[in-house]
Structure 1
Amino acid sequence: MARDQLQVLNALDVAKTQWYHFTAIVIAGMGFFTDAYDLFCISLVTKLLGRIYFHVPGSEKPGTLPPSFSSAINGVALVGTLVGQLFFGWLGDKLGRKKVYGLTLMLMCLSSLGGGLSFGKDPKSVMLTLCFFRFWLGFGIGGDYPLSATIMSEYANKKTRGAFIAAVFAMQGFGILGGGIFAIFVSAAFDARFPAPSYAEDPIRSTIPEADYVWRIILMVGAIPAAMTYYWRMKMPETARYTALVAKNAAQAANDMGKVLQQDIQEEQHKVDRMRAGTTWGLFSKEFAKRHGLHLLGTTSTWFLLDIAFYSQNLFQKDIFSAVGWIPPAKSMNAIHEVFKISRAQTLIALCSTVPGYWFTVFLIDRIGRFTIQILGFAMMTIFMFALALPYNHWTHPDNRIGFVVMYALTFFFANFGPNATTFVVPAEIFPARLRSTCHGISAASGKAGAIIGAFGFLYLAQSPDPTKTDEGYPPGIGVKKSLIVLGVVNLLGLLFTFLVPEAKGRSLEDMSQENEDDGQEETSV
């Protein structure tokens, strides 16, 4: 039987777009700006770390990070993120969204500073210290996923809820863009102040001592947006849906949202008190499996498959650009100029495809729906991956490299105007309030498991040896070709699992999660 909707929740559902909506987007979104900056800026400086700490005197090529360290530096933050998503997702449902919201920012801020201050008596010690801080950085970032998504979904109205949640996530694109732009600025400034010859001209002087400051500055700046947002996060009231439906305090919910919406709202404690045990089933119950088991399978599987492809592309795009010759050979540049070239390539991709893709989702998600966008995104990513992989030798020819970059950029566009945004939005809409943060954390952690597989797997495949070279002197890139084929198959699987995910466009959170159904069943949580 349907239960009457609480007035405070109905007021949120039908509220016109107001200033507090945009304030919430900025407060939550700055966390995601920081998340993306911190996670992806490491890919800009990994080659510089190899030049500084692992140069072999007399070698014909600049120093590179050993595969073990390269994997660890990229992967440890993802492991931390996965753990943080599970832990903070659960904690957000137990203690409330607001109580743990500031803690994630503090972790990100302190860990960003710690990573930039990594020191040691030898290169191995420096890398291990960096890995330690990047784990805790990822742990804080992980908490931001379920908390930001849940808070934004519970603040938004049902008409534009998808756009608001997607706008928070779209700040990730600006974080990637901001990281690239700042790295360009820092590397250009150091290159102008401390000019150095290329590696081919002078292997020793091509990596100046001041280069050690470059990567540290780039990593530490990630603490600034996190610190700037902390005060405003602490000023946000707890969401009404947590206060009323989980904490069972209708008076506090009405008071908090009355101030936010600037209107009088009835407390209706009697409605909260009448809520029966039939809606207290837990995550590990038969009732949850019956109502939301397939939904959770859909959100976890699609996010898992998406992140295998998305993080492979993002973390190692510099290797792909090098393979097709878009970034010059390392020995033709000095250490800092190489950072400039890599940063410029990432910035162009972010500016032309990543950021527009996110905002296409923001503008269209409440018009055409989550399901349509996710199907379209996975389908186009599949097509472009196979179009790049099957005629790979064609794309690596010098005359066709620009075409390769354009098509590669389009995969980023349809990832963000597609499943990279929708997999974040949907888990915040379809589960009950008392399990919403937990289920979003589980879904996000599944995605990070895919990211870890993608990061480590792509590193292995992309570094597999190329036994031959063509007459023109460019490698056939067997490792990269295999990787692109695998990613195409992964995207196709993501498309198929999308059919397990329900459409939430225009529906209230209580309708989607079936919290307004009172079937009188006894509690079955275990």
Structure 2
Amino acid sequence: MANDQDQPQLEVLTMLDAAKTQFYHFRAVIISGMGFFTDSYDLFCISLVTKLLGRIYYTVPGSPKPGSLPPNVAAAVNGVALCGTLAGQLFFGVLGDKLGRKCVYGITLMLMVGCSLCSGLSFGSSPTSVMATLCFFRFWLGFGIGGDYPLSATIMAEYSNKKTRGAFIAAVFAMQGFGILAGGMVAIIVSTIFRALYPAQPYSVNPTGSTPAEADYVWRIILMFGALPAALTYYWRRKMPETPRYTALVAKDGAKACEDMSKVLNVDIKEQKVVQSKATSFGLFSKEFMRRHGLHLLGTAACWFLLDIAYYSQNLFQKDIFSAVGWLPSAKSMSALDELFKIARAQTLIALCGTVPGYWVTVFLIDRIGRFLIQLIGFFFMTAFMFVLAFGYQHWIQPENNIGFIVIYGLTFFFANFGPNSTTFVVPAEIFPARFRSTCHGISAAFGKAGAIVGAFGFLYASQNQDKAKTDAGFPAGIGMKNSLLVLAVINIIGLLFTFLVPESKGKSLEEMSRENEQQEQVGDLENQVKAIV
């Protein structure tokens, strides 16, 4: 154990916990949140253009149906960014604890900017080579996105006061909803412009003229747009000071932590020997770590894994679900750009009515009712609505009932975001020690992306038979989609049970949650000193 003289002073941390909400909190939300805006735009915009890619590169001349991506290609295009994200969460999570949050924060943003642009410039002499190039750049795009998860959450947690910390971390994550919404709106605008400039007939009327050559520019523009919001915030992200908790507790430079926070809080913070930490220096995955935090890490990782199986299945394959229930017309009755427009319009409506409100209800309530209750509510209602859709599937797919299907389906998104999709991001940034905080958040998030990969590949396989009159087992059409919904409902039940392993962090300091304040020696009346300064 280190000597007392080597331990960081913690006055500045107590000041942060007690500080009133100030401008720098909102600036940090915007700077960190724009990264998540970009993350979600880049991850989910691919689902908008996959059908267009199929029609451009895989339509067979003379075929009665327009082309679509082969299952293995569709799985790769949809899933490769998630694989990169998983790797990036682990890599940058560890790096954030080793080198500091700020040091690697700009790197992730530049990766996202560069790879967004390169994804839209994917080249090749054949459809296979174009898809391979696209997958290559989307992997590294995902790698940069992955780094943004632990770093953004940790930075926001370590800057916030304990009274509103949950709301600020959730607000960063809520920018994901605006990113999803922006993806749909950009696709609507771009497809509308190209439809006006290059009119095309439905595939059933004119197969060769249903996909104008200029459609190849459309998907590229949509993918490349994701570079813009990230590029606009790069300068401000680089100007953010290192978090005082990292500087004091990990780098053990109390003087630098006080200097940085004097500028942020606009008060004079003198370096005083107010609190000395005697916390033990156990290692990650050591016996002491497992005793203190092993079940917590299991809970955060398992909940995120289970949630993302359901969440990404629903998000990446909304277009297939809409087609299955008849909310979207058949592909051959539309031109390629008409199909893109209608897919984007449907997904934008779901985001506007279900996804975005769910995020912001969490922001407003998380510090009032707590993380634990919100996560339980979310898992419970996601389960209930998926069972309703699955058991009444044959009823819901009837043309006169498909609006009801969409409403209930949209509610699953609302309760995913007013629920575990938000809390699984917030809690891992609050409950682990500072020297492991970014790493443990990265591990939890990586398990989430493992679940997303299972969802992306598994759902694609399960829903392959939805257009057939009979499956091999002789069940009615749509059994793949129905069974998928049943499986997702059961997964949500398991997630609800794992929630009981995760502690409530509402109203508690990060040091209290991580138990870094155990065996601390307090000198003087600290509370009165802090109130006088703040």
Give the TM-score band, short-chain normalised. over 0.9
Taking the aligned partners of 2:520 and 2:218, their CA distance within structure 1 comes to 61
Percent identical pairs in the alignment equals 74
Residue 530 (structure 2) aligns with: none
Residue 105 (structure 1) aligns with: 109
Taking the aligned partners of 2:165 and 2:285, their CA distance within structure 1 comes to 28
Asked if 1:267 is matched to 2:271, the reply is yes
Residues paired across the two proteins, number = 511
1:478 positional shift? 0.9
**CA RMSD in angstroms, aligned pairs only:** 1.5
Gaps of 5+ in 1: 470-474, 521-526
1:519 positional shift? 8.6
Taking the aligned partners of 2:205 and 2:281, their CA distance within structure 1 comes to 71
Matches within 5 A, 1:432-451: 432-451=433-452
Taking the aligned partners of 2:20 and 2:48, their CA distance within structure 1 comes to 42
* Helix, strand or coil at the partner of 1:399: coil
Residue 177 (structure 2) aligns with: 173
* Helix, strand or coil at the partner of 2:400: helix
Residue 430 (structure 2) aligns with: 429
Taking the aligned partners of 1:225 and 1:4, their CA distance within structure 2 comes to 37
Residue 370 (structure 2) aligns with: 369
Gaps of 5+ in 2: 1-6, 471-475, 522-534
Residue 380 (structure 1) aligns with: 381
The one-letter code of the counterpart of 2:269 is I
70, 76, 87: which one aligns with 2:74:
70
1:279 positional shift? 2.2
Residue 100 (structure 2) aligns with: 96
User: For 1:493-526, what per-residue CA distance to the aligned partner results, in whole angstroms no more than 9, with x for missing partners?
Assistant: 0000000000000000000000011399xxxxxx
Residue 306 (structure 1) aligns with: 307
1:468 positional shift? 2.8
Taking the aligned partners of 2:58 and 2:491, their CA distance within structure 1 comes to 35
User: For 1:441-477, what per-residue CA distance to the aligned partner results, in whole angstroms no more than 9, with x for missing partners?
Assistant: 00000000000000000000011355537xxxxx731
Q: 1:248 to 1:290 in 2, by over 3 A?
A: same
The one-letter code of the counterpart of 2:255 is A
Matches within 5 A, 1:5-404: 6-268=10-272, 275-276=277-278, 278-404=279-405
Taking the aligned partners of 1:325 and 1:180, their CA distance within structure 2 comes to 20
Residue 490 (structure 1) aligns with: 491
Taking the aligned partners of 2:280 and 2:348, their CA distance within structure 1 comes to 48
The one-letter code of the counterpart of 1:60 is P
**Runs of 4+ residues deviating >4 angstroms:** none
The one-letter code of the counterpart of 1:339 is L
1:275 positional shift? 4.1
* Helix, strand or coil at the partner of 1:326: coil
Taking the aligned partners of 1:4 and 1:411, their CA distance within structure 2 comes to 46
1:266 positional shift? 2.5
Residue 472 (structure 1) aligns with: none
User: For 1:125-154, what per-residue CA distance to the aligned partner results, in whole angstroms no more than 9, with x for missing partners?
Assistant: 000000000000000000000000000000
Residue 452 (structure 1) aligns with: 453
Taking the aligned partners of 1:75 and 1:53, their CA distance within structure 2 comes to 19
Using the size of structure 1 for normalisation, the TM-score is: 0.95
User: For 1:373-399, what per-residue CA distance to the aligned partner results, in whole angstroms no more than 9, with x for missing partners?
Assistant: 000000000000000001100000111
* Helix, strand or coil at the partner of 1:65: coil
The one-letter code of the counterpart of 1:352 is C
Residue 523 (structure 1) aligns with: none
The one-letter code of the counterpart of 1:130 is L
Q: 1:53 to 1:404 in 2, by over 3 A?
A: same
Q: Is the 8 A contact 2:122 2:130 kept in 1?
A: yes
Q: Is the 8 A contact 1:145 1:441 kept in 2?
A: yes
1:336 positional shift? 0.7
Using the size of structure 2 for normalisation, the TM-score is: 0.94
Q: 1:86 to 1:490 in 2, by over 3 A?
A: same
Q: Is the 8 A contact 2:324 2:467 kept in 1?
A: no
